[in-house]
Amino acid sequence: MTTDKQLLGLYGLKWNPFLPLLPAEAVWPLPGAEAFAHRLEALVSHGGFALLTGDPGHGKSKTLQWLAARLTRLPDITVGVMERPQNRLADFYRELGDLFGVPLSVASRYGGFKALRTRWRAHCEATLLRPVLLIDEAQELASDCLTELRLLASTRFDSESLLFTLLVGDTRLPERFRTPELLPLGSRIRARLALGPLPPEDLQAYLAFSLEQAGGPHLCTPELVQTLVTHAAGNLRVLTAMGAELLTAAAERNLPRLDEGLYLQVLAPPAKPRRARPAESGKGT
C-alpha cells in the first residue's frame, strides 16, 4: 500500500491536490467569490450578517477557508470559527465565550449575554478591533441560537452591530430565514453568495489551478481532464473524489501520469453483457 509520503514523492507533489486538506493559497476562488470577498471586507467593520449557501459538493467549506484567510489578514479584525453549530444554547454560549475570551456562566443566560456584549463593546472601543464569527454547517444551528445571535450582536436600538457573522450552510438555510421566527435575522443579511454546479470550463480551470499549485501541472493528461470534467456533473466533490482514487491507483501501478486508460480500468462502469435474443419458435423447421 502506497503511503501519502511515497505518493507525493513519486509525483513530485507538494500536497495531494485532490484531498480537502489544502493550504488556503491553493484554494481556487469559485465564480463570484472574489466579489463576495470584497463585499465582506467592506462590511466586517460595521457588523451584521452575510450568507454563503450551496448544495453538498459545491465548494462551501473550501470557500469559507479561503475567505477566513483573507479576513484574518485584515487589520483591526479578530476572527473566530465556531466548530459545533449543533450545540444547544448553553454550549453555544460556552463556545462563543471561548472564541472571544469571555468566561461565561451557563447558570445565568442573561449574565452571559451581558458579559459578551460588554466585552465586545469595550474591546471595539479600546482597540478598534472588530469581532468576526464564521459558522460552517449553519443549517444545524437551533433557531433559538440564531435569534440569540441576532440580539447579542445589535445595540443602541439596532443602529450599531457589535459582531459580523458569516453563516455558511446548505440550501435549507435561506428557507429557514423566510419563517416568521427567523425573518428578523433574514432581513439583516447584507451580502449573499449562492454556489451552484460548475460548468465544464470552470471545472477544467479548477483542475488546472489545483495541479499547478500542488506542483504537478502535467499530472493528468488533457484527455483525462476532459473525461473527469464530463463525469463530475458540475460537482467539485465528485471531481476530486475521482481524482484522488485515480492518483492512488496510479501510484500503486507506478504509472508516470494519470490518463484515460487508468480511468477506464478503475472508474468506468463495467459493460453490461449483451443478452442473447431467444430463437423464434418454429423458425428453420
Residues 110, 234: one domain?
Answer: no
Residue 163's pLDDT is: 83
Residues 76, 183: one domain?
Answer: yes
Residue 162's pLDDT is: 76
Residue 285's pLDDT is: 43
Residues 118, 217: one domain?
Answer: no
Residues 204, 166: one domain?
Answer: no
**Of 195, 217, 247, which residue sits at a domain end?**
195
Residue 284 counted as domain residue: no
Distances (CA, A) of 197 to 54, 105, 116, 183, 233: 9, 44, 39, 28, 7
**Of 195, 224, 250, which residue sits at a domain end?**
195
Residues 155, 259: one domain?
Answer: no
Residues 109, 130: one domain?
Answer: yes
Residue 124's pLDDT is: 64
Residue 22 counted as domain residue: no
Which residue positions in the chain have pLDDT lower than 50? Answer: 281, 284-285
Residues 186, 213: one domain?
Answer: no
Grid cell, residue 93, equals 454560549
Range of the domain at 235: 4-17+198-266
Residue 92's pLDDT is: 83
Total domains in the chain come to: 2
Per-residue H/E/C for the chain: CCCHHHHHHHHCCCCCCCCCCCCHHHCCCCCCHHHHHHHHHHHHHHCEEEEEEECCCCCHHHHHHHHHHHHHCCCCEEEEEECCCCCCHHHHHHHHHHHHCCCCCCCCHHHHHHHHHHHHHHHHHHHCCEEEEEECCHHHCCHHHHHHHHHHHEECCCCEECCEEEEEECCHHHHHCCCCCCHHHHCCEEEEEEECCCCHHHHHHHHHHHHHHHCCCCCECHHHHHHHHHHCCCCHHHHHHHHHHHHHHHHHHCCCCECHHHHHHHCCCCCCCCCCCCCCCCCCC
Residue 215's pLDDT is: 95
Residue 285 counted as domain residue: no
Residue 274 counted as domain residue: no
- Using an 8 Å Cβ cutoff, are 191 and 51 in contact? yes
Grid cell, residue 41, equals 471586507
Residues 227, 183: one domain?
Answer: no
Residue 87's pLDDT is: 82
Residues 96, 108: one domain?
Answer: yes
**Of 153, 177, 195, which residue sits at a domain end?**
195
Residues 142, 262: one domain?
Answer: no
Residues 150, 186: one domain?
Answer: yes
